[in-house]
Structure formats: structure tokens, C-alpha cells
Structure 1
């Protein structure tokens, strides 16, 4: 490792830090609370892992905490960190295992003077995530994507640090809605207290962008920027590192393409090199609609191509809610499956809204009755909606999204009319008040959400 203010004694990992990052890391030594906010690939997580690892060598506390939105996210970004994480810094002196039924990295060797240190990894996004970190007292806490942590987790982690002998907190995050609670309740409030000289222990804040990372070449920078629609909030946040309020059309690039009749996303010929064809079902009710979407993903996860979509309204011509008989819904879906089979020859899997297990059972029964019992129906993953939106936006910006012309009218209309909820001031929420077709968006997103990590590589 490169030597930074006596942080390490021996070069093992080829770190290269700009002066801004060096200054932040040096301040971590003196401050109890350290927050790095900025764009993707800005190097903020690497900074925190580096500083955390340095403190881990000498801290008198034995047990420490590492969190992400999910436990897997914490292990990937803090444990591995593209070869610069804790397991690499302490390679040969650490191993993964379980501590009180939690995933943990055990560290013991020359770096820690042969004293055992335990870093527990946990997820923090769900309302009840805090339960997984109860029962232990932690010395230090490192968290990645802290804005995606539930407030219950944040408060519980702080409570668990009350007995720490060397209290240290390391947070990183991409910019969020400027009115988000993570700013008003924590980050900005702490900054104000620090400026007033009223923050015991010291508060260390850094804002950085991808342009502050000296490891990113011009070619690589251009490649990363090309993934984004410059009109999207994702570009403003992930590239420019700005806190931006979401407003207006979600997929403006797509909507503008349709309104100007360019139709550059539409294709007429059958796609080549199809790797899998996934079907998605979103069940309606209370006036919303049932929606089916079939999506092709090509070899190497290069292209996402909706092949067909269909929406069955749950309202009559007067706008009154109506119920679609489950048997009728099953027949409609079987007809949709047959439509895909007749043209493309196969279906890989069906992902259905997991909230409606009775309707899923009815779909399976209908498939069996119509000689399609071999079609596999699984629960949709239902990941974070904004993660699904961001993935679709990036695919569009990269020219890796297309749709079959004339076969996806309901989905095209849904993408053109999807907007952010203007009443949500503290978080970014897709408007779902019946004025736009959220059902078709959901059924489409179910077909790709399990492949987002392969489709969108930040590398």
C-alpha cells in the first residue's frame, strides 16, 4: 500500500489517492464520525475501508460492524471492494465465518498484534434489519450506502456503540434527495454542529465526484458517463455528485423519442442471439390492471428487448372497478404464453407478483390445464423500485434497450407517462395514483430485476 500519514508500513495493494482523498483519510484518524458523499466510482468506499482497516489494527474493541443495504452488498463493497476490501487488506490473517449466526470476518495476525478482531456484516434496509445487530456491543461501524439504511438500523447501531472504547463511524453514500432524512437528521445536522464547535469527537465530511478519482482514465470516464441519460436524476447524482429532487418524466429520453416520432427504440425484425425469454405478471386489483410482459435478454447480457406486453384493465368504461375472474385471467395468460411460443419457440421462466400467492396458484393450474405445465412460475424478486428504474434508464442511455414494434403498446405507453410523485419531498417515489400505468412497468421490471447486476456493470 502507498504510505499515507503512517497508515501502513508495507506495500501490498497498489493504492493511488488524490490529495482530496488523502486529506479525508488523514482526518479520519482524528474524527469519530466520517462521511464520504459523492458520485459513483469516486473512491469514497475505498477511503473508508482503508481508514477502518487502519483503526482495526490497534482498536481496543474486539467486535465491529459493517453494514450495507443488504448483507451481500456489505460483503461485496466492504469485504471485497474490488480487491481493496478488508479480506484483501488482511489476507493471510483473516477468514470468513459465523458469529452468533451472523456473517463475520475474523482477523488475527501480525497486523492486529495477534489480537482477534471480529467484523460482523449485516443488511440495514428493512424495517426489522436492526434485529440482526442486536446483542453485541460494537467499537467501530462502517456503512456503505447509508442513505439506503432504515432509520431503525441507524439508531440501533448507534445504541450498540455506547460502550465503545474507541468510537468510530465511517459512512459513504451517493447523493440523494436533498430533503432526505439522512441529511436533515444526521449528515447536515452534524456538519452544522461541527461548524459551531459543538460536535465532540470531531466530524469529518468529504464531497467527491468521479473526477476526483485519479485512477479513472479519460477513456473509462467517457465509458461510464455514456451509460446515463444526461437529463436524468441518475446522471446528476451518479456522475455530477449532486443532491437532486426527482421531478417530471422518469424516462424523458424515451418519451421524447416517441413524441417526436423518431421511434429509435423500436425494432421490426426478430431479435438475434436471444439467451433467455422471461415473462412477468403484475396482478391488478382495487381498480388497477393485470399486466403481462415478455422480455428477451440477448447473449452476454448485451440487450434487453420487450417482445410483447398486454394489460387487462380492472375498470369498466365508466371507471368503476371490476373483478377479473381468476379462471379468465388464467386463460388470458395462457393465450399470452402461446403467443410467445408460436413466434419464439420457448419461455425461460415466468416471474409473478409474489404478493398474490392465490392468483399464482391459479396461473399454474391454468398452465397445466392447457398443456403448459412445464412452464416454470416463480415469485418476482421485487427489488427496490428505484434500482429497477435506474437500470432501465441506463440501458436506454447505452442503446441497449429496444422493443418489438407493434407488440408492446401498453409498455410503451407506460414508459412514456411514468412520472415522479411531486408530493414526495423527502424521497423519490414513482407516482402511483392511477393516472399512469404502473402495472405494465412492474411486469416488465420483474423480467429483468434478477439480472440487473449482470446487465449493469460498474466494474
Structure 2
């Protein structure tokens, strides 16, 4: 038996009388669960056959809305829903009182994501974490529903910075019903759990305002706030390749993140290109893997990168603290070296980790660091972390949202000492 809050009930039962509905607010606020049941209700009444769920990548689209941690479409409809595929892609076939519906799920975070929906005619689109989607994909989705009999769009997101383009270019352009959500709107979170979350977030003023009060705030405390999704993400690798290497940060409960990096020379300047990322979090997925399993999956990742980019790698650096991961990698034939984690670095007034952070900030600012898109091991988790990794009220980097950020720093350390200094 699912218990809904008054706001969730209001959202689920609302009339379908606007072009776009936006649920914006904090994580763990119950907004996505409300979206699951809202969309399920819509599917039972719309005469349109084809619909779309779009997230940064296809895996996220399935996880966030088809599965939805137990409250997504496949659970709501039960035996009336079956995963299938056709020439247009993977979809969930749903039997409803108004006919069979096809709910496609696709990725929309890349520059060329729009190719996946060209020619499709849709009744509705669900935008998961709309602030992480490419604007071309968002706008094309609205065009794909022009001929719908019961046109509908639903978006959810955590509060973006107040100057994020999705606000002016999407929310303020459409006829929009906007709802603000906080953790107080989630009926299943206990007061004890709320207090625990508050105490964690209160260590950082930025995260407290964003993830507790649900406010749009400028990320002054975010360490890599100079990263620009338009400027620093490329669809292809540019320049003459010089070297491929890997860096890794690992843990079982925490996330394990491994990046493939290629150094190129472009317009007379060396660049560090992050071309692929293996990432798994035991705490986020609820699936804690043995280090031996991580090692096998990482080896498959390495082999994919070697084949994809037709390059041999020179180095594989691992956080010195991850001794068990290094040992498992050695057992399956991957030699590793301890990564430079800045433990002994001093540069001017900067010491330790701050030296690496400064180098990484300079690499981004000086246009010497880029993400390069690929079809399989994308940068979703890097992009999420880069927008969250921040400092506490004392100016110290918070030990959270930092697994991809740590191994990113290790890659920059190697790049700087070999190609810049």
C-alpha cells in the first residue's frame, strides 16, 4: 500500500490542461514517485499510441521511470506491461483501457541525441533531470508532439542555478504548471531520517539551500563551477593523439570510478580528453559488488577503450588507498601504479588536495580539459558530481560527491607533470 502526500495526490489528479508540468525540488522529496503515477494515469486516458521517456542516457531513463525503484511504470502496470523493441528502439508495451501504448525510453544528454527521435510522432514526453539534457533534444521533443491528440509533457529536476537556460528557454516559453518540492512533501521519510539529512546538508550552505529548502542558488561553493556543459563537452576527439591512460578511485559501499583519458595536441596546445567512464555505486544502486567483480568489469571497460580508440594505454593509476582493487586488477593482468593524490604536494600557499584542485580548475579554465562523448561509457556521473562537489563553511572540500572528482584530479596531476609543467 503506497501512502501519498497531499501534494502528490494533487499532482496525480490534476487536469491535463497545460503544455508542460514541472516538478522541481530537492532529492528525496517524492516528486518522481508522483510523476510515475501521474504518467500512468495519463497513459490510461490518452488516445495517442507512442510516448517517450528521456534522461541523460537510456539506462537512466529506464531506471528513473520504467523501474523507478519499485514505483515505476513496469510495477504500476504489472502483467500489463512488457519490455519490447522495434525499429524505433526499446520501449515498454502497456495495455490500457484506451488501447496498447508504446513508451520508448532514450538518452538525451549528447549533442547528437536528437537523431534518436527524428521522424517519431509522440503523444507525450517525460523529461527526467531535464537540466542535464541537451537543449536541442528538449526542443525537438516538443516538436515531436505537435500532432498529438492529447499533448502532454512532464519534467522533473533538482533546483538548477537561477541562470540555467532551461528556465528561460523551456519553462518560461511553454504554458507551464510548476510545483516546488522539498523533503517535507515525502510521506515515507521519518523525522529521524530528515534530521540526519539536515545535519549532513547543513555543513554546506550551498547544498542546504538547494537540497533542503529546494532553492535555486548560484553554486558559489561548487569547486568546479567553471565547467560548462556547452563548452567543455565534445562529440569527437580533436587533435593528434599522444597517449592513453586510466585513473581509478574505488570502494564497495562508495562509488568505484575509472576514467579513460587521451592526451592530444590541438592548435599547438596539449589537451586532456576524458573519453569514457566506468562508474558503479553500491550505496546508490543497493548492489554492493566484490572487488573481484569490479576488476573483471574494469578489464572489460579497458578492452572496450583500447578497441574503440585503437590505442595502447601506457599507465593505470589507482588511488593509493584502494589496495584491494589494485590487487584484484593485478590478478587479472592489469598492472597499476599508485595515483598521485596530492598528499605531499605544496605549491605556494596551496597544500595537498588543494594543489590538485587548482590544477584541475586551471585545466578547465584554460580549455585543456574536455569530455568526449561515446555510445557506451558516458559521462553522466562526472556531470552529476561536478555540479555537486563543493566546500563546507570553512572552505574545505566536502568528502562527498567526489569519486569521479578524485580520479579526475589524479588524471590532471599526471597530465600536468608530463605535458604542462
Interval containing the TM-score (normalised by the shorter chain): 0.5 to 0.7
Question: What CA distance in whole angstroms lies between the structure 2 residues aligned with 1:374 and 1:105?
Answer: 38
For the pair 1:361 / 2:312, whether they are aligned, the reply is yes
CA shift, 1:27, in A, is 2.7
The answer (yes or no) to whether the contact 1:414–1:441 under 8 Å persists in 2 is no
Q: Secondary structure at the match of 1:363?
A: strand
Higher strand share: 2
Relative to the length of structure 2, the TM-score reads 0.61
Question: What CA distance in whole angstroms lies between the structure 1 residues aligned with 2:33 and 2:404?
Answer: 35
In structure 1, list runs of 5 or more residues that go unmatched. Answer: 1-13, 191-198, 253-284, 306-313, 315-319, 324-346, 366-371, 379-402, 422-429, 449-459
Question: What CA distance in whole angstroms lies between the structure 2 residues aligned with 1:415 and 1:233?
Answer: 22
For the pair 1:60 / 2:72, whether they are aligned, the reply is no
CA shift, 1:64, in A, is 0.8
Residues 1:234 and 1:355: Cα distance change in structure 2 (over 3 Å): farther
Question: What CA distance in whole angstroms lies between the structure 2 residues aligned with 1:357 and 1:103?
Answer: 24
Which residue in the other structure is 1:433 paired with? 366
Q: Deviation per CA, 1:422-458: give whole Å up to 9, x if none.
A: xxxxxxxx9533899x9x986714989xxxxxxxxxx
After superposition, residues 371-386 of structure 1 pair within 5 angstroms as: 375-376=333-334
Residues 1:229 and 1:123: Cα distance change in structure 2 (over 3 Å): farther
The match for 1:213 among 173, 176, 186 is 186
Which residue in the other structure is 2:71 paired with? 84
The answer (yes or no) to whether the contact 1:38–1:175 under 8 Å persists in 2 is yes
After superposition, residues 115-194 of structure 1 pair within 5 angstroms as: 115-190=99-174
In structure 2, list runs of 5 or more residues that go unmatched. Answer: 226-238, 258-264, 272-293, 317-329, 372-402, 412-421
After superposition, residues 298-317 of structure 1 pair within 5 angstroms as: 300-302=252-254
Q: Mark the structure with the bigger radius of gyration.
A: 1
Relative to the length of structure 1, the TM-score reads 0.56
The answer (yes or no) to whether the contact 2:342–2:355 under 8 Å persists in 1 is no
Question: What CA distance in whole angstroms lies between the structure 2 residues aligned with 1:412 and 1:122?
Answer: 38
**Count of residue pairs the alignment pairs up:** 312
The match for 1:250 among 219, 223, 234 is 223
Residues 1:114 and 1:19: Cα distance change in structure 2 (over 3 Å): closer
Q: Deviation per CA, 1:48-67: give whole Å up to 9, x if none.
A: 22111111112111111111
Question: What CA distance in whole angstroms lies between the structure 2 residues aligned with 1:291 and 1:361?
Answer: 9
Residues 1:90 and 1:375: Cα distance change in structure 2 (over 3 Å): same
